[in-house]
Amino acid sequence: MEWETVIGLEIHVQLSTHTKLFSGASTTFGAAPNSQACAIDLAMPGTLPTANAKAFHYAVMFGLAMNAGIGKRSVFERKNYFYPDLPKGYQTTQLAEPIVGPGVLNIQLADGSHKAVRLHHAHLEEDAGKSMHEDYHGMSAIDLNRAGTPLIEVVTEPDMRSAEEAVAYLKKVHAIITYLGISDGDMSQGSMRCDANVSIRPKGTETLGTRVEIKNINSFRFVEKAIKVEVERQIDLIEEGGKVIQETRLYDSEKNETRSMRSKEVANDYRYFPCPDLLPVILDDDYIEAIRRDLPELPDAKHQRFCNDYGLSDYDAAVLTAERATADYFEAVASESDEPKLAANWVMGELAGYLNRAEISISRSPVSAQHLAALIKRIKDGTVSGKIAKQVFEAMCEGEGDPDSIIETRGLKQVSDTGALEQMVDEVIANNQAQVENYRSADPSKQPKMLGFFVGQIMKASKGQANPQAVNDILLKKLK
């Protein structure tokens, strides 16, 4: 039987506000345990929450960027359950009246096709603390620094049909939050976390299969692998006559398998009800419109502009706008060098290759956009050939400084001086008489190809520094 995969995502995005959602405590990552938990975060008796206005600002930015509705009235509710890293015994979250309503986001797949994924809603909520069960001699330790950090939970409709689509959606959301600057989006630090609801059904049917929730997958690559392996598991199970049960499973990246965590059938009754300590938040049109006016350029708009203004291909523009840092870097190189196509090639080629190998993000690139632009200018004005430029680039990656001084100190400047080149050409002709004879007696239509041999010899003799165009001209003249 042919199966269809159905995927819905729940994405938690940590907002980069300076303070927590309901208290004035700092949200900086990596502080000493419990040093950033105030009386409110500790749920001391008599303390009360006050909502962080910046978190609402960010949530509205997000809703607008996602082409979604904004809840002009949003209500915090209490989600009740006991856990040691949940100090109040309830999580303050939104349910019936979230800040961001339904919407549709278009994603682009690897083959260039587009797909619309519906957003169910996105809501504001507070994060829990962390429980640590190792290193405490059988006891558990609790760090409440993270407790109360603002999150947006993004809940999609089950619109995705493959792991690749799920990853494309996740990357698009990642691009949007980082373009907006409302989150650092760092999945390795938990700033963006993804749960995937996965089910399968016979292709062509409408009814949804029983879904399994895969929890806390912490990289794009693992999202893809986890979904794939879970889909395989479900297919095998059903084809062997078994039944998928509704449950939560954890992805083990080392074994590349999902493992049952807890059955949803004995799920908590969270007893949601509106939080009486917080009033409904009412936003007016002026507030929302002011935020809309101040939105930065978003990935889709930038993509379009890169195609139009720089003449880039749809594919190149998509690659360069996938992350704001890459787009900003490219634009700096393009405008400084005035060579957008060369800039695109270098950013997507040499630079991306180096950064990937070195596992460095573009924002920490050892080669600044200004230096790369300078290098491109040197290619353009003939100071170095494209080939030599790669050597210069490697030196730049090693931190040897700006391209001009590297070209200078390493003596990589292209040789265009006719006298010097003629001498080299004469030597090559003298040393390769047989080839010269062959060339001269060959059919003129085959000569251009044969010329390559002589050019190669000269480039070798000049260590690549001879100006290829000038060499060509001299050779043609001398081999006549």
Partner 1 sequence: MHTKTIAELTQLLRRREVSSRELTEHFLQRIDQRDERYNSFITVTREQALAQAEAADQRLAAGDAPALCGIPIAHKDLFCTAGVRTSCGSKMLDNFIAPYNATVVENLQQSGAVMLGKTNMDEFAMGSSNETSFYGPVKNPWDTNCVPGGSSGGSAAAVAALLTPAATASDTGGSIRQPAALCGLTGFKPTYGRISRWGMIAFASSLDQAGVLTRTAEDAALMLQAMTSFDVKDSTCVDEPVENYSARLNQSVRGLKIGVPKEYFGAGLHPQTAAKVQEAIATYESLGAEIREISLPHTHLGVPVYYVIAPAECSANMSRFDGVRYGYRCDNPQDLTDLYQRSRAEALGEEVKRRILIGTYALSAGYYDAYYHKAQQVRRLIKQDFLDAFTEVDLILGPTSPSPAFPFGDKVADPVAMYLEDTYTIATNLAGLPGLSIPCGLVDDKPVGLQLIGNYFAEAQLLNAAHQFQQATDFHTRIAPGAA
Q: How far is the CB of 135 from partner 1 (least distance, A)?
A: 18
Residue of 282, 290, 287 whose CA lies nearest to 51: 282
Output 23 or 162, the one with its CB closest to partner 1. Answer: 23
Output 142 or 154, the one with its CB closest to partner 1. Answer: 142
Two structure tokens written together for 22 = 């309901």
Q: Which residues form the interface with partner 1 (CB under 8 A)?
A: 39, 42-51, 78, 80, 82, 84, 87-90, 140, 142, 269, 271-273, 276-279
Q: How far is the CB of 348 from partner 1 (least distance, A)?
A: 50
Q: How far is the CB of 59 from partner 1 (least distance, A)?
A: 17
Two structure tokens written together for 202 = 């016979």
Distance CA 230, CA 202 (A): 16
CA separation (Å) from 336 to 134, 147, 303, 399?
52, 45, 20, 21
Distance CA 93, CA 152 (A): 10
Distance CA 134, CA 245 (A): 31
Output 42 or 237, the one with its CB closest to partner 1. Answer: 42
Q: How far is the CB of 207 from partner 1 (least distance, A)?
A: 24
CA separation (Å) from 281 to 75, 262, 271, 394?
6, 35, 22, 55
Q: How far is the CB of 271 from partner 1 (least distance, A)?
A: 4
Output 84 or 386, the one with its CB closest to partner 1. Answer: 84
Does residue 478 contact residue 454 with C-beta atoms inside 8 Å?
no
Distance CA 144, CA 148 (A): 8
Residue of 287, 338, 324 whose CA lies nearest to 63: 287
Neighbours of 33 (CB within 10 A): 14
Residues belonging to the chain? 480
Output 89 or 452, the one with its CB closest to partner 1. Answer: 89
Two structure tokens written together for 355 = 């950064």
Q: How far is the CB of 277 from partner 1 (least distance, A)?
A: 5
Output 5 or 19, the one with its CB closest to partner 1. Answer: 19
Output 144 or 319, the one with its CB closest to partner 1. Answer: 144
Distance CA 415, CA 458 (A): 11
Does residue 213 contact residue 6 with C-beta atoms inside 8 Å?
no
Q: How far is the CB of 18 from partner 1 (least distance, A)?
A: 17
Q: How far is the CB of 20 from partner 1 (least distance, A)?
A: 14
Output 74 or 183, the one with its CB closest to partner 1. Answer: 74
Output 19 or 156, the one with its CB closest to partner 1. Answer: 19
Q: How far is the CB of 103 from partner 1 (least distance, A)?
A: 28
Output 97 or 331, the one with its CB closest to partner 1. Answer: 97
Q: How far is the CB of 87 from partner 1 (least distance, A)?
A: 6
| DSSP state string for 238-306 | HHTT-----EEEEEETTTTEEEEEEEGGG------EE-TTSPPEE--HHHHHHHHHTPPPPHHHHHHHH
